[in-house]
Amino acid sequence: MISYLWWVINNPMDKITFSTRLQRERDKFENLLNQVGYTRQLTMKGVSGGLSIKDMLVDILTREQFIADRLSEILHGEIYSPCTSHTALEYFQNKYGYPDYESPLLEKEKRNHLVTYKHKNIGLDDIVEQELAAYSNILDSFQKLTLDQCRDHGLFHRAAEHTYKPYRRMSHEINFWLNSITAESK
């Protein structure tokens, strides 16, 4: 707890700083996706285990939708509490269509294969459209939230956990895959 408080005191963040960081990370992420190309490569299995980039985008989409919904709840004065039982986790996922990513019962960085399976018959264009809408909702909500709301709810950290940190993880996996393809073709 003390180390977290030290970090907060020594690393003050405001909405402009956060928005700039988020947009910079988003630009890097989108540039990488553009490098891969909007072709069948985005739906080829094997990028990370048996997953395609499309499957990985579903993970990004659901994490962004999770935080977008939490931001909306804060704007509307609603209270969110992470699920503390497996029954509550199941109910949450059935209600929202994605896991409670902030539940202490889930591994934070682990992909939920039920979400991937649920989206397997949805086209890449629809996934991209939904993901862009979720990202836009996050930006819109941050515009409406006060700095005090952001700080009181730990939103800079929480939003990072569901936006640019997953972008970085996915980018790392895609770069590793691209490098392995390059090495194979030599």
Q: Taking the chain, what is the end-to-end CA distance rounded to the nearest angstrom?
A: 50
In a domain, 2, yes or no: no
In a domain? residue 8: no
Instruction: Give the CB-side neighbour count of residue 52, counting CA atoms within 13 A.
Output: 17
Is 39 inside any structural domain? yes
Percent with pLDDT over 90 in the chain: 62
Instruction: Tell me if 42 sits within 8 A of 36, measured CB to CB.
Output: yes
pTM of the model: 0.87
DSSP SS3 for 121: coil
- Residue 104 belongs to some domain of the structure: yes
Per the prediction, the chain carries an average pLDDT of 87
Task: Give tens-digit pLDDT for 29-78.
Answer: 999 988 887 555 777 788 888 888 999 999 999 999 999 999 999 999 99
Q: What is residue 179's predicted lDDT score, i.e. its pLDDT?
A: 86
Task: Please state the rounded mean pLDDT for residues 153-181.
Answer: 92
Residue 21 has pLDDT above 90, yes or no: yes
User: Does the residue 25 lie in any domain?
Assistant: yes
CATH code of the domain in which 94 resides: 1.20.120.450
Q: Tell whether 3 is covered by a domain.
A: no
Q: What is the pLDDT of residues 90-121, one digit of tens each?
A: 999 999 999 999 999 988 777 777 888 888 89
Q: How many domains does the chain have?
A: 1
CA distances to 60, 61, 133, 134 from 56, rounded to whole Å, are 7, 9, 17, 15
Q: For residue 50, what are the domain limits? A: 13-185
Rounded to an integer, what distance in angstroms lies between the CA atom of residue 65 and that of residue 108?
Answer: 15
Residue 4, domain member (yes or no): no
Q: Judge whether 180 lies within some domain.
A: yes
